[in-house]
Amino acid sequence: MLTSAPPSASPILERSESRLSKKVFIKTYGCQMNVYDSARMADVLAPLGYTACATPAEADMVILNTCHIREKADDKVFSELGRLHQLQIEKERAGGRLVLGVAGCVAQAEGAEIARRAPYVDMVFGPQSYHRLPEMVARLARGGGLVLETEFPVEDKFDHLPQPSHQIGPSVFLTIQEGCDKFCTFCVVPYTRGAEFSRPVADIVAEARLLVSQGAREITVLGQNVNAYHGAGENGAVVGLGELIRRLAGEVGGIERLRYMTSHPRDVDDSLIAAHRDVGILMPLLHLPVQSGADRILAAMNRGHTAQDYRRIVDRLRDACPPLALSSDFIVGFPGETGADFEATMTLIREVGYAQAFSFKYSPRPGTPAATQGVQVAEPVKAARLADLQVLLAEQQHAFNESFLGKTLPVLLDRPGRQAGQLAGRSPYLQPVQVAASADLLGTIASVAINAARTNSLAGRLSTLPALAGVSAA
């Protein structure tokens, strides 16, 4: 509901309003796909006169780009909305106005609930609708209460987006695939992002070229199920992720690093494994979530593979690309998980060895099968298992980082460092690296001799030695 909206506005007023400079603050929750979407929302709003600002207090419009994956993520949205409502009231008292928008997966899943619990929100729109922002803003200006947009097919979104024009750093995301048809029993993504959709190869190559011309050195291609990618090639053939990676590496001059995420073990095919062997700029860190090491739990999760299948895939990937390191997601306390099941997960972690990983307590999500099936695991048991698992993963991460002491790594310097005279960047394995370097090296890939390793970061000094063979960026 719009408490301070003009009762109506003439088209002339709308046009003149659109030329005024306004500020938008977009806060992003959740996955990298939301980060990409937020950047594109800023692109869509720019022609309406909106520029980005650093805090909600300066903003004429605040958009929360939300995540629904776990209960905590959801709760954050409602508490943030409460705070923003206070700001909205203060602005109105001062004769101003703050437009509040909720985008992303919570908007898609809980549009009606947001309207009920936070009636002061002006716009609620799902992940496939943000290209319609100009129309939504115009509707809002005409008055008439909440603007709700959660119904559009994903094809629309990519067909109607402007070219990326926001300020970009040397490392960027490029969404190539959206949605998921896997229906893991714990997960909301198939409901919030809809069915799998792959963008055509030509569109992706063109967007990658544009990003490189704007200064990108590293591109991470994104999808909820990125290796299920099956986009249309120019000749009508279907192209998989392995071939797309080869094409990007071969056809987009100036890309120095490629990554992809998030992939599913079931969709790792021969062509993708071969790309890890053949494509030098494909970085040697693979995020390949396994969730659990127990076959009964994997089956109950509907993951469609066993722990042994996963081990075999990892072995084949490592045979093809020996420097490859692995990352994963784990869920502890899935309904019905016994102590022995949890131990099977710990065993798998010990056997595979991870460079880094994300781990979560199972969070029952409304509308997903697992929320109402099986015996829910007690909260203290989940907490204890998560703590044990995270100790093991932290040990592995620390040992992995220490293995680079005395070695030289190529580091993409993409931001100022912690202290003056320092820059920070990412190694091929995404380790944050601090290094004493002058600002003119920002945006370049430098050889860094590693002389300190912590669990979450590395530090080193600039080196003239060539960076470690097998992980070089060239």
Q: Where does this chain bind ligand SAH (CB under 6 A)?
A: 69-70, 186-187, 189, 224-225, 262, 264, 289, 291, 329, 331, 360, 362-363, 365
Residue 69 near ligand F3S by CB under 6 A: yes
Residue 199 near ligand F3S by CB under 6 A: no
Of 74 and 341, nearer to ligand F3S (C-beta) is 74
Which of ligand SAH, ligand SF4, ligand F3S, none lies near 459, with the C-beta cut-off 5 to 8 A by kind? none
Distance of CA 39 to the CA centre of its chain: 12
Pick the binder of ligand SF4 from 184, 201, 307, 424 (CB under 6 A): 184
Minimum Å gap between C-beta 339 and ligand SAH is: 19
Of 363 and 427, nearer to ligand SF4 (C-beta) is 363
Residue 33 near ligand SF4 by CB under 6 A: no
Interface with ligand F3S in residues 221-260 (CB under 6 A): 224
User: 108, 192 in Cβ contact below 8 A?
Assistant: yes
Of 267 and 278, nearer to ligand SAH (C-beta) is 267
User: 243, 269 in Cβ contact below 8 A?
Assistant: no
Residue 289 near ligand F3S by CB under 6 A: no
User: 344, 298 in Cβ contact below 8 A?
Assistant: no
Helix, strand or coil for residue 47?
A: helix
Residue 182 near ligand F3S by CB under 6 A: no
The 8-class DSSP code of residue 227 comes to G
Pick the binder of ligand F3S from 34, 128, 129, 408 (CB under 6 A): 34
Which one of 14-22, 160-168, 183-191, 251-259 is the stretch in contact with ligand SF4 (CB under 6 A)? 183-191
Closest CA relative to residue 98, chosen from 71, 66, 128, 120: 120
Residue 189 near ligand SF4 by CB under 6 A: yes
Residue type, 357: A
- Position of tokens 């893991």? 184
Minimum Å gap between C-beta 289 and ligand SAH is: 3
Distance separating alpha carbons of residues 239 and 256, to the nearest angstrom: 22
Which of ligand F3S, ligand SF4, ligand SAH, none lies near 192, with the C-beta cut-off 5 to 8 A by kind? ligand F3S
Distance separating alpha carbons of residues 110 and 116, to the nearest angstrom: 10
Q: For the purposes of burial, counting CB atoms within 10 Å of the CB of 153, is it exposed (0-12), middle (13-18) or buried (19 or more)?
A: exposed
Distance separating alpha carbons of residues 63 and 107, to the nearest angstrom: 11
Of 85 and 296, nearer to ligand SF4 (C-beta) is 296
Which one of 188-196, 346-354, 369-377, 423-431 is the stretch in contact with ligand F3S (CB under 6 A)? 188-196
User: 272, 241 in Cβ contact below 8 A?
Assistant: yes
User: 427, 405 in Cβ contact below 8 A?
Assistant: no
The CA-to-CA distance between both ends of the chain, in Å, stands at 54
Which one of 17-25, 123-131, 177-185, 212-220 is the stretch in contact with ligand SF4 (CB under 6 A)? 177-185
Pick the binder of ligand SF4 from 81, 84, 114, 180 (CB under 6 A): 180
CA dihedral 109, 111, 117, 120 (to 10 degrees): 140
Q: What is the CA radius of gyration of the chain?
A: 23
Which of ligand SAH, ligand F3S, ligand SF4, none lies near 104, with the C-beta cut-off 5 to 8 A by kind? ligand F3S
Q: Exposure string (b/e) for 319-350, b if CB count within 10 Å is 16 or more?
A: ebbebbbbbbebbbbbbbbeeebbebbbebbe
Of 328 and 396, nearer to ligand F3S (C-beta) is 328
Of 69 and 77, nearer to ligand SAH (C-beta) is 69
Which one of 83-91, 175-183, 238-246, 455-463 is the stretch in contact with ligand SF4 (CB under 6 A)? 175-183
Of 193 and 287, nearer to ligand F3S (C-beta) is 193
Q: Which tokens is 310 given?
A: 């996963």
Residue 104 near ligand F3S by CB under 6 A: yes
Closest CA relative to residue 157, chosen from 179, 142, 137: 179
Work out the angle between the directed axes of helices 32-45 and 104-117 (0-180°, nearest 10). 70
Which of ligand F3S, ligand SAH, ligand SF4, none lies near 190, with the C-beta cut-off 5 to 8 A by kind? ligand SF4
Closest CA relative to residue 374, chosen from 342, 336, 338: 336
Binding site for ligand SF4 (CB under 6 A): 180, 182-184, 187, 189-190, 224-225, 264
List interacting residues with ligand F3S (CB under 6 A): 30-31, 33-34, 67-69, 104-105, 188-189, 192-193, 224
